[in-house]
Amino acid sequence: MSASADPDHAATVLVVVDPTSSVVNEAPVRWSVDHLTEALEASGLAVRQASAPDPRTARADVVIRVADGNADGPAESFELSRPDGADGQVSVSGADARGVAYGVLELADRVRYADDPVAELRSTTPESKQPATPVRSILRTFTSDVEDKPWFDDREFWSAYLTELAVNRVNRFQLAFGMQYNYGHHPATENYFCFPYPFLLDVPGFDVSVGNVPAEERDANLATLRFISDEAKRRGIHFQLGLWNHADDQGEGSEPRYPVGGITPDNHADYCAAALALLLRECPSIDGLTMRVHYEGGIPEPDHETFWQTVMGGVATVGRPIEIDMHAKGVDEALLEIARGTGCRVVVSAKYWAEHQGLPYHQTTIRERERATKERGTGLMAITAHQRRFTRYGYGDFLREGSDVGLVFRIWPGTQKVLLWGDPVLAAGYGRLGTIGGALGIEWCEPLSFKGRKNTGEQNGRDPYADPALRLDGQDWRKYRYTYRLWGRLLYDPDADPEQWRRFLRAEFGDAAEAVENALAPASRVLPLVTVVHGIGASNNGYWPEMYLNMPIAGGPNADHYRGDTATPPTFGGVSSFDPSLFYRVDEYADDVVAGRRDGRYSPVDVAGWLERLAEEAEQNLAAAREKSAQGDDPNFRRVAIDVAAQAGLGRFFAGKFRAGVEYALHERTGDARHLGDAVTAYRSARDAWAGVAEVTTGAYRPDLTFGDLRSEHGHWADRLPAIEEDLADLERRFEQARSAEATAERELPQVPSAERVPFEHTPPPPFARGEEVRIELTPSEAFDGTVVCHYRHLNQGEDFQAVDLSREDDGAFRASVGGDYTDSDHALVYYFTVHHPSGDAWLLPGLDQTLANQPYHVIRQRQE
């Protein structure tokens, strides 16, 4: 309802746009003003636009002035103000077109969700905002022609979808082609857009074509790509085209549905260079290219440098700035030099937590199997699998101080493909930590990525729901609108006013909004935590924590599935964390318990407690939301309720499984059957929790959610239950045998009392000059008779940590220094502490806090002279 004094006449809003400003007349600002106008009119307000105030201004209920601001201010910053404090006037300004547009879109968003839009505008509080994260990107991948061609061709979809991204300050969008296949790893059948050029272009001078794609369809594909990129640019979104596969065939045994003809070893590189240059000219709104340049992109190592020299040379002929983003895996200095040679901006995009979504911080240490090999490689994976192996699943050595190469982190779609994610705390954590060491920001592979992969697509199959009342009628992305909102806005500003997402929740859930937020947040923390702790597989297609293919505790089904990407032999107790510096393996922890020692890392029992806390918090708030929801059968509410219950159940399952794993490992080491009995009890609890997940999702979701053809890539929670029950039955049999044995060993384990955590004061040193000694000091807040170890390394995941005992000085402080010979490097420093109590207990500093969203170590940058 508007605030017009006369109920028969709509309130009036005058939008004044400065015609003399080059910034205000750029396309993103013009588009944002149109969007604001539509929002005002949809709220029942009368809108007039003017280039300057006029006498009619006095009759307007609100005047909105749009102008540029401080051109020297931070890029994408904006300011909302009330000239002279007038209630009826709002001024929007910004440092550039994106900044101005974000200010205008913020007003439009407030109008859209306000009960009284005029009152909302008139009470605008002055504020200035600037981005914390330069790159805030969303990746959408074309995987299946059956499931993805409908949305690719749907221009109404693109208009709504890109508007949603722009409103929530997503400033980069990648449309990825060919990402679903790793060259040489899997025979391809459904290969639409996999080798993308012939699906889009007829390249003069080359007799290259693709079967089963008529010329009319090819030309329509190009027109659609041009439309998408133009619409992104119009909204102020950098459009990135992902060209992930340059293999014209997909390996031995492939029978592609769309066979490519006319490519030979002699013309392959030249064709790709010519096609890419033509494509960039045909689609002038393409701002950047993301390319997978190691062997999985279709070009065998180590001779791939010649190919990429030719192809990138095609980019250099286009005559406009193009960002070249190379997927970081396997990238070496030779490839960087080739990219630099184009004169374009060069970026590498690294995986945040392997091919999964973990917690907001970055791995302290990569897994042992990710370390570089000493021997020189040969064959297809000569570089990627050997000297540059450590670049596969993290930032590697790319965060060099003063580097001319930018780094963007990509969160891959391995952890959570279907269930709704929405946690403001973790999202803000990514906003604070996604720029570690000067990194540019984050690209997030959106939900349902890889749906229909490897010829598993079905007609209308992208919608994950079986229940007709829950289906999304081709608008599956709308389920995740809250997720996009949190990602975009909290990457832009980790300290954003919660009203920015709460107004959306109120519109969706009414009186239940607060409880929905408080239920979904802890539920959404479960799977990122599980991913970090239980690093059973780095690959998104081999490991799917959301629909876990059960790793047996004592031997049983599925252990063979994980062979090759985890410890040997593959056992639950032997699985490494993705951060082995912070988290024990189950077996490591059991060894230390039996030996009566602790090394300070978080144990599986600690993690089980965290998961149980998150599950309880989610369940309690979900119950409150059900009580407050006026429409419990509303599809939006049902979708959230199902997903919260499922994630809470997954938390309880993994908590029980970790407890069972520890007790089984203790039984193995002691022979004490009591531990085996405790393992059975914990595993039964885990089994019951999984059964609850299966129950709540059965009938709601499709019985087979398809993301590929491996056991771990498709299925339903219900079909994972038999393997869990078989593993439990095996454990129960072992317990009965142990309990009925003539003599059962009973062994009391040495106790390590949990010491009271003595607080320590520590101020990280200021930025240092290269080659300068760095002094580190840690001071206990009370008398402390233990010892402290400082672990430090360069901000380079290819290196090991150094450890030094801090010396205790007469004033009670602990001190150490990192010598200038070590700081004489082109990397920042990373360090953390292990505190050892006289009782034998130990803990990490700074460690993870209760939110799990902080950085558990310190980073000191170099001083820029």
pLDDT at 185: 63
CATH for 760-860, among 2.60.40.10, 2.40.160.40, 3.40.630.10, 3.40.50.1220? Answer: 2.60.40.10
**Mind listing the pLDDT tens digit for each residue in 586-635?**
999 999 999 999 999 999 999 999 999 999 999 999 999 999 987 778 99
Q: Check residue 557 and give its pLDDT.
A: 72
Q: What average pLDDT does the chain have? A: 93
At position 304, the amino acid (one-letter code) is: H
What topology does CATH give the domain 135-496?
A: TIM Barrel (3.20.20)
For residue 250, the model assigns a pLDDT of 62
Q: Which positions ≥6 away from 303 have C-beta within 8 Å?
A: none
SS3 835: strand
Residues 6+ apart with CB under 8 A from 562: 536, 537, 542, 543, 551, 570
Tokens of 247: 């293999």
CB 242 within 8 A of CB 139: yes
Alpha-carbon span 290 to 625, nearest angstrom: 42
Name residue 20's amino acid: T
The proportion of the chain whose per-residue pLDDT surpasses 90, expressed as a percent, equals: 84
- Whether 5 shows a pLDDT value over 60: the answer reads no
The DSSP-derived string for 752-809 is --------EE--PPPPB-TT--EEEEEEESS---SEEEEEEEES-TTSPPEEEEPEEP
Instruction: Report yes or no: 852 and 426 within 8 Å, Cβ to Cβ.
Output: yes
pLDDT of residue 750: 85
pLDDT value, residue 56:
54
Considering just the CA atoms, what is the radius of gyration of the chain in Å?
28
Is 841's pLDDT higher than 60? yes
Kindly state the tokens that stand for 174.
Answer: 């990648």
Task: Return the ∠ at Cα 699 (arms to 627 and 517), rounded to 5°.
Answer: 35
C-alpha span between 688 and 681 (Å, rounded): 11
Q: CA geometry: angle at 221 spanning 217 and 223, to 5°?
A: 115
pLDDT digits (tens, 9 = 90+) for 718-732: 999 999 999 999 999
| pLDDT, mean of residues 183-193 | 77
Cα 247 to Cα 295: distance, rounded to the nearest angstrom: 10
Buried b (16+ CB within 10 A) or exposed e, 141-163: bbbbbbbbbebbeeeeebeebbb
Q: What percent of the chain has pLDDT over 70?
A: 97
DSSP 8-state secondary structure symbol assigned to residue 324: E
Q: Are 715 and 547 in contact (CB under 8 A)?
A: yes
The set of residues, in sequence order, having a beta carbon less than 8 Å from that of 425 and lying 6+ positions away, is 521, 525, 851, 853
Taking 50 as the threshold, does the pLDDT of residue 127 lie above it? yes
Instruction: pLDDT band for 337, please (50, 70, 90 cuts).
Output: very high
Q: 17-67: per-residue pLDDT in tens?
A: 988 889 999 999 999 999 999 999 999 999 999 987 665 555 789 999 999
CB 16, CB 33: distance < 8 Å? no
**Domain spanning 12-129: which CATH class is it, in words?**
alpha beta
- In tens, the pLDDT along 684-737 reads 999 999 999 999 999 999 999 999 999 999 999 999 999 999 999 999 999 999
DSSP state, residue 148? H
Which residues are registered as beta bridge partners of 47?
13
Instruction: Quote the distance between the C-alpha of residue 692 and its chain's center.
Output: 27
Per-residue pLDDT reduced to its tens digit, 484-534: 999 999 999 999 999 999 999 999 999 999 999 999 999 999 999 999 999
Position 696 scores a pLDDT of 98
Beta bridge partners of 388: none
Domain boundaries, the chain: 12-129, 135-496, 517-740, 760-860
pLDDT band at 84 (very low <50, low <70, confident <90, very high): confident
The HSE-up count of residue 146 (CA atoms within 13 Å, CB side) is 18
The stretch 467-495 carries a mean pLDDT of: 97
Residue type, 453: R
| 118 token code pair | 């005029």
Supply 477's token pair. Answer: 């992305």
Q: Does pLDDT of 314 surpass 60?
A: yes
Closest C-alpha among 340, 184, 323 to residue 254: 184
pLDDT (average), residues 810-836: 96
- Largest Cα–Cα separation, the chain: 101
CA distance 183 to 50: 56
Tokens of 3: 């605030």
Q: Which range has the worst mean pLDDT, 148-152, 202-206, 301-305, 794-798?
A: 301-305
Which residues make Cβ contacts (< 8 Å) with residue 242, sequence separation at least 6? 139, 141, 174, 175, 176, 177, 178, 179, 289, 290, 291
| Predicted confidence (pLDDT) at residue 2 exceeds the cutoff of 50 | no
* Separation between Cα atoms, residue 185 and residue 297, nearest integer Å: 11
List the beta bridge partners of residue 862: 768
Choose among 478, 464, 461, 482: nearest CA to 418. 464
Instruction: Give pLDDT, residue 187.
Output: 67
Asked if pLDDT for residue 555 goes beyond 80, the answer is no
SS3 content of the chain, % helix, strand, coil (to 5): 40, 15, 45
Please count the helices (runs of H) and the strands (runs of E) in the chain.
Answer: 20, 27
Choice between 606 and 556, residue whose per-residue pLDDT is larger: 606
Backbone φ, ψ for residue 308 (5° rounding): -70, -30
At 96, is the pLDDT very low, low, confident or very high (cuts 50, 70, 90)?
very high
Residue 707 to residue 712: CA distance in whole angstroms: 9
The mean pLDDT of 336-350, rounded to a whole number, is: 97
Q: What is the pLDDT averaged over residues 410-423?
A: 97
Torsions phi, psi of 322, nearest 5?
-130, 130
Using DSSP's 3-state secondary structure scheme, residue 863 falls into coil
Burial grade of 85 (CB within 10 A; 0-12, 13-18, 19 or more): exposed
How far is 90 from 95, CA to CA, in rounded Å?
17
> At which residue do the structure tokens 């010491």 appear?
755
Question: Encoding tokens for residue 721?
Answer: 């239950």
